[in-house]
Amino acid sequence: DGGITQSPKYLFRKEGQNVTLSCEQNLNHDAMYWYRQDPGQGLRLIYYSQIVNDFQKGDIAEGYSVSREKKESFPLTVTSAQKNPTAFYLCASSIASITGNGYTFGSGTRLTVV
């Protein structure tokens, strides 16, 4: 089960806390992505990064932050500003954003606010 690893699988957060979700890939992919998956809404893009030290906001970036200090790693921080953070978070990577290749997805992190 290599390729792209997300941790932890389950995460519980108290109101007002920041939490960081880990995403690591050993596929030598340039591009990495964070999606949020909610029932009936499909996948919505939070942030993406096409190259190290660079990233862009997706459709629902408010309340989230990311960093891309290494090619292999793209952690996502869910801040206390995110109004409805309980969701399933998926990380993905691809060779490059311009080609027609598909994504490789991680197994996801389920975040619950308690």
Partner 1 sequence: AQRVTQPEKLLSVFKGAPVELKCNYSYSGSPELFWYVQYSRQRLQLLLRHISRESIKGFTADLNKGETSFHLKKPFAQEEDSAMYYCALRGYGQNFVFGPGTRLSVLP
The binding site for partner 1 (CB under 8 A) comprises: 33, 35, 40-45, 48, 58, 90, 92, 97-98, 100, 102-103, 105-108
Quote the CA–CA distance of 56 and 54 in Å, as a whole number: 7
| DSSP category for residue 70 | B
Closest separation in Å from C-beta 43 to partner 1: 4
Instruction: CB nearer to partner 1: give 16 or 42.
Output: 42
Instruction: CB nearer to partner 1: give 15 or 84.
Output: 84
Task: Please state whether the peptide bond connecting residue 8 to the residue before it is cis, i.e. omega within 30 degrees of 0.
Answer: yes
Closest separation in Å from C-beta 47 to partner 1: 11
- In terms of C-beta density within 10 A (0-12 exposed, 13-18 middle, 19 or more buried), how is residue 60 classed? middle
Closest separation in Å from C-beta 81 to partner 1: 23
Instruction: CB nearer to partner 1: give 13 or 44.
Output: 44
Instruction: CB nearer to partner 1: give 15 or 99.
Output: 99
> With contact defined as beta carbons under 8 Å apart, do 66 and 34 qualify?
yes
| Residue 107 φ/ψ, nearest 5 degrees | -85, -5
Closest separation in Å from C-beta 35 to partner 1: 8
